[in-house]
């Protein structure tokens, strides 16, 4: 099989176990790119004897399949999900806010893991547990894939709720990302309390009257 068609497996977790780790958490975040809404992170500790079937990078799954798998993950694994607010995104920056979300997601687990598998190429500075950054980890590690799924489904559900409170921006379908409908609504309807004021399209409308 081509390396571009691989699916996540348990090899990163198995390698950590071979070195003595017994409680391994996959960590991922979603929501760096949207103009509105929080950034969300999840930490998931899978039971190696009872891993949900069909785990994959959340971006490669349909919404329906993600919802089914999210329920399986919540039922069969330990899950911690954290939303970091727009205010904190604007106070720090989106990279640091996403790392804060990851740190809090790990802290929210009932027991501290002894090894972390983190999606991306950076380890958040607030994590003192033995950690391994895995580039495109949601497509390589089952634990990270599981975290990507529950993070996305949780954030999507939150944005669906916000879409009912602030109709017209299309958050129920674009999840706050800068789709044409969302950007047009920003000009027509204005900026909501859930928009990230530090992001250029929102900042420009607020302070320069530009798109």
Q: Which residues belong to the annotated binding site for a divalent metal cation?
A: 28-29, 119
Distance of CA 35 to the CA centre of its chain: 15
Binding region: 28-29, 119
Which of 17, 22, 25, 20 lies closest to 137, judged by CA?
A: 25
CA atoms within 13 Å, Cβ hemisphere of 155: 31
Place of tokens 């990270």: 144
Encode 69-105: b = buried (16+ Cβ within 10 Å), e = exposed.
bbebbbeebbbbbbbbebebbbeeebebbbbbbbbbb
Q: Is residue 131 helix, strand or coil?
A: strand
Strand ordering across the sheet containing 115-119? 78-84, 39-45, 24-30, 115-119, 131-134
């Amino acid at each position: 099989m081509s390396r571009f068609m691989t699916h996540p497996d348990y090899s990163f977790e198995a390698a950590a176990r071979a070195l003595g780790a017994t409680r391994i958490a996959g960590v991922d975040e979603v929501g760096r790119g949207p103009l509105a809404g929080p950034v969300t992170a999840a930490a998931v500790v899978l039971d190696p004897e009872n891993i949900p079937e069909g785990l994959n990078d959340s971006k490669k799954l349909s919404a329906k399949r993600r919802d089914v798998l999210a329920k399986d993950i919540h039922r069969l694994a330990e899950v911690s999900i954290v939303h970091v607010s727009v205010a904190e995104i604007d106070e720090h920056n989106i990279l640091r806010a996403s790392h804060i979300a990851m740190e809090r997601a790990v802290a929210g687990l009932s027991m501290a893991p002894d090894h972390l598998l983190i999606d991306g190429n950076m380890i958040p500075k607030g994590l003192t547990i033995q950690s391994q950054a895995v580039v495109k980890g949601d497509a390589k590690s089952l634990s990270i894939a599981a975290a990507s799924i529950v993070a996305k489904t949780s954030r999507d559900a939150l944005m669906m709720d916000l879409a009912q409170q602030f109709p017209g921006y299309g958050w129920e379908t674009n999840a706050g990302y800068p789709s044409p409908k969302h950007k047009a609504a920003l000009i027509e309807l204005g900026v909501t309390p859930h928009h990230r004021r530090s992001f250029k399209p929102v900042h420009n409308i607020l302070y320069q009257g530009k798109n």
